[in-house]
Amino acid sequence: MAPAKKRNVSSVKTAEKSAKKAKVDLSKSVERILESRKHANDVFDILESLQAEQEKEVISAVAACSELFCALLERKELFLGKLPGEEDALSGGYSAGDKYQIFMRHRYTSCVEILLEHLSHEQYDIKESAMCCLMKFAAGEGRHPLEDLDWSEHYSFPRELIQALVDNLLSKTTDNSLLISRFQEFLEMEDVRYYVMSSIRDNVGKVMDKNKGAVVPVYQNNVFTLMSSISMPNQESELTNFMVKQEAKHEDWKAAKLHEHKRVFERMWLGFLKYKLPNSMYKKVLVILHDSILPYMSKPTLMIDFLTAAYEIGGAISLLALNGLFVLIHQHNLDYPDFYKKLYNLLEPSVFHVKYRARFFHLANLFLSSSHLPVYLVAAFAKRLARLALTAPPTALLIVLPFIYNLIRRHPSCRVLIHKPSTEDEPFEDPYLMDEEDPAQCRALESSLWEIKSLQKHYHPDVAKAALLINTPLSEQEDDISETLEVTTYELMEKDLKQPEIKSVPLEFETATRLLKGGGDVLGQHFCLA
C-alpha cells in the first residue's frame, strides 16, 4: 500500500505544479497580448484553459480573461457597434486596427459564452468565479458600451449581458441557491437591481409559458430565491449606489427613479405569482408577503387574486394568507366578502399544531377586536374555540382561554354563554352545530361554554387555574395573550420542574434507634432477622 500512496501524493504535487505553471503562463500571455498586437493569437491559449477539466486551471483562466478583456474595454480596443463576421472582416475594406478589434471582440463574445456555460458547472468555485467575472464585464461594458443603445431609456447599461446572466442563474434542473446568495451583493447596486428585476420577469414569462403553466419546482425555487434576496429602497434619496455612472441626464434614467423600481418590482412578483406554485412555495411567499412585498408595490390591491386563491387552499397556507389580507383590509380598505365566515372555518383541531399558530391567533385577535361585530358572530367564535379546547394541548389552551375571555369582555352580550339558566335534574343537550360552516346558523347563542367548566378538572394545573376564572366576574382589563403565543411544551415542562423545592418531609414520628426497633415497633411485629 505504501508505494501506491506515494504515487498518489506525487500525482497531486504534479497537478499543483502544472496548475501554478499554467497560471504563470496565462499571466504572461495576458501581458504579451496587452503589450503587442502581434501576440493576439495567445488569447486562444487562454480560452482553451477556460475549458480545461482541472478546477484550478479554469479559475486561473477566468482571472486571466477578466484582466485581459477588462483592460481591452478600458482601452476601447474591442470593436464598437454591430459586429461583422470574421470572414467578412477579412474580405471587407477594414483597416488593420479594425480587424484586430473585430478579432478580439469575437474572442470576447466566445469568452462570455463559455463563462455563461460555467454558471452550470458542477464545481461551485468555478461558478462563482465565472459569475464575478461576468459582472466585471458588465461594469466595463457600462462604462464603455459596445452597442448603440437607446439612450432615452436604457442609457449605457449592458442589459443583454445581465439578461443572459439571469437566464443562466435561473436553472430548471440545478438548485442555485448558494450561487444566488453570492449574487446578492451585486443587487445592492440600484441599476443592477432594476435590470435584474426586469430580466426575471421576462425569463419567468418565457419559461412558464413554454411549460404551459405547469409547476417547475427547481426553477421556481431558484426564481423565488433570487426575488426574495432583493431589498427595495424606501426613499428616492437612497438611490445612490450605481454600477454605471451616467454622464448626462442621470435624473431622467428609469433606474434612478423609485417609482420605476416599484413598478418593475410589482410586475416581477405579479408575473411570478400568476402561475401555479408548489404548496411549499406558497408558504415561503406568504411568510414574507406582508413586510417584504406589499409595502413596495405601487398597487398592493393587485395581490388580491393571489391571496384569495391561497386563502381557499386551506390549512397552514390559509393561515399565512391572513397576514396579507389583513394589510389590504386594514391599510387599503379592501372589501373582502365572507371574510369572517372563512376565518371561522379555519378554526379546526389542526390550528393548534401548525408552525404558524402564534401568528394566526395574533391576527385573529386583531380581526375580532372591533366592538361593532354582531353578537352572534363573536359568540360563534367563542363557542367553536371552547369546543376545540376539549382536545387541545396545554400550550394551546393557555392561549385559547384568555382569548375567549377577551371576546366576552369586548361584547358583554356574550355573557349569556356563561350565565345560562338550566335545571340540574334535566339532561342538557347542546344545540350548538359544530359542523355548520355559517357562523350565523350554528346556534352558538343558544348554547353555553360548558367546555370551560369541564377544563377546570384538566390534568395541567395552569390550565385548570385559567378555567376557574370563569366562576368569578371577569375584570374589565383584557388579558395580554402575546406572552403565551410562543409558549412551547418544553417551556411548560421547564417551568414545572423549576418549582420551589418543598422542605424535607418527616417520614417517622419516633426516630429508630436500631434495626427493626423504633417507630412503635411496627417492623418488629411483622419482620424478623433469620
pLDDT of residue 251: 63
Q: How far is CA 174 from the centre of its chain?
A: 19
* CA atoms of 272 and 86, how far apart (whole Å): 41
pLDDT of residue 32: 92
For the four alpha carbons of 292, 354, 397 and 383, in that order, the dihedral sign comes to: positive
pLDDT band of residue 7 (cuts 50, 70, 90) is very low
> 343 with 440, same domain?
yes
> 476 with 402, same domain?
yes
In-domain check, residue 524: no
> 224 with 346, same domain?
no
Residue type present at position 163: Q
In-domain check, residue 317: no
> 126 with 225, same domain?
no
Q: How many residues in total does the chain contain? A: 530
Q: How many other CB atoms are found less than 10 A from the CB of residue 240? A: 9
Q: Report whether pLDDT(1) > 50.
A: no
Task: Report CA dihedral (474, 478, 480, 484) to the nearest 10 degrees.
Answer: 40
pLDDT band of residue 508 (cuts 50, 70, 90) is low
In-domain check, residue 140: yes
Residue type present at position 276: K
* CA atoms of 466 and 392, how far apart (whole Å): 14
Structural domain including 266 reads 151-276
In-domain check, residue 470: yes
Most confident of the ranges 25-39, 177-191, 411-425 = 177-191
Where a domain ends, among 116, 148, 180?
Answer: 148
Domain count across the chain = 3
Angle at the Cα of 202 from the Cα atoms of 191 and 269, rounded to 5 degrees: 80
CB 308 within 8 A of CB 341: no
> 358 with 233, same domain?
no
CB 146 within 8 A of CB 104: no
* CA atoms of 523 and 527, how far apart (whole Å): 6
pLDDT of residue 509: 60
The pLDDT tens digits for 278-320 are 888 988 999 899 889 988 988 888 888 888 888 888 778 888 8
* CA atoms of 413 and 211, how far apart (whole Å): 56
pLDDT of residue 14: 47
pLDDT of residue 178: 95
Q: Report whether pLDDT(501) > 70.
A: no
DSSP letter at 347?
Answer: -
Q: Report whether pLDDT(3) > 50.
A: no
Where a domain ends, among 247, 276, 305?
Answer: 276
Where a domain ends, among 226, 257, 276?
Answer: 276
The pLDDT tens digits for 72-120 are 999 988 988 888 888 777 776 788 888 899 999 999 999 999 999 999 9
pLDDT band of residue 5 (cuts 50, 70, 90) is very low
> 141 with 166, same domain?
no
> 157 with 141, same domain?
no
- Of 404-413, 414-423, 468-477, the range with the lowest mean pLDDT is 414-423
- Of 87-91, 266-270, 522-526, the range with the lowest mean pLDDT is 522-526
The distance in angstroms from the start CA to the end CA of the chain is 71
Q: Which of 128, 132, 125, 226 shows the shortest CA–CA distance to 171?
A: 226
Average pLDDT over residues 145-167: 77
> 183 with 134, same domain?
no
Q: How far is CA 308 from the centre of its chain?
A: 20
Average pLDDT over residues 322-337: 81
> What's phi and psi for 347, nearest 5 deg?
-75, 95
Average pLDDT over residues 342-368: 87
In-domain check, residue 452: yes
> 133 with 266, same domain?
no
Average pLDDT over residues 107-135: 95
CB 285 within 8 A of CB 224: yes
Burial 56-84 (b: 16+ CB within 10 A, else e): bbbbbbbbbbbbbbbebbeeebbbeeebb
- Residue 510's contacts (CB-CB under 8 Å, 6 or more residues apart) are 518, 519, 520
pLDDT of residue 98: 86
Average pLDDT over residues 224-250: 84
* CA atoms of 525 and 517, how far apart (whole Å): 10
pLDDT of residue 130: 95
Average pLDDT over residues 163-184: 95
Q: What is the DSSP string of 227-263?
A: HHTPPPPSSGGG----SS--SS-GGG-GGG-HHHHHH
Angle at the Cα of 190 from the Cα atoms of 185 and 192, rounded to 5 degrees: 65
Q: Spell out the alpha helix ranges (H) of 312-374.
A: 315-332, 339-345, 357-367
What are the counts of helices (DSSP H) followed by strands (DSSP E) for the chain?
22, 0
In-domain check, residue 214: yes
pTM confidence score: 0.77
* CA atoms of 180 and 170, how far apart (whole Å): 9
pLDDT band of residue 423 (cuts 50, 70, 90) is very low
In-domain check, residue 115: yes
Q: Spell out the alpha helix ranges (H) of 119-242.
A: 124-143, 159-169, 177-183, 190-210, 217-228
Q: How far is CA 202 from the centre of its chain?
A: 22
pLDDT of residue 226: 96
> 136 with 155, same domain?
no
CB 239 within 8 A of CB 188: no
> 348 with 490, same domain?
yes
The pLDDT tens digits for 26-37 are 888 999 999 998
Instruction: Report the largest interatomic distance among the alpha carbons of the chain, rounded to a whole angstrom.
Output: 128
All cell numbers assigned to 486? 410562543
CB 382 within 8 A of CB 407: yes
In-domain check, residue 516: no
User: What 3-state DSSP class applies to 366?
Assistant: helix
pLDDT of residue 326: 81
pLDDT of residue 12: 43
- The fraction of the chain above a pLDDT of 90, given in percent, is 43
> 268 with 366, same domain?
no
* CA atoms of 507 and 518, how far apart (whole Å): 13
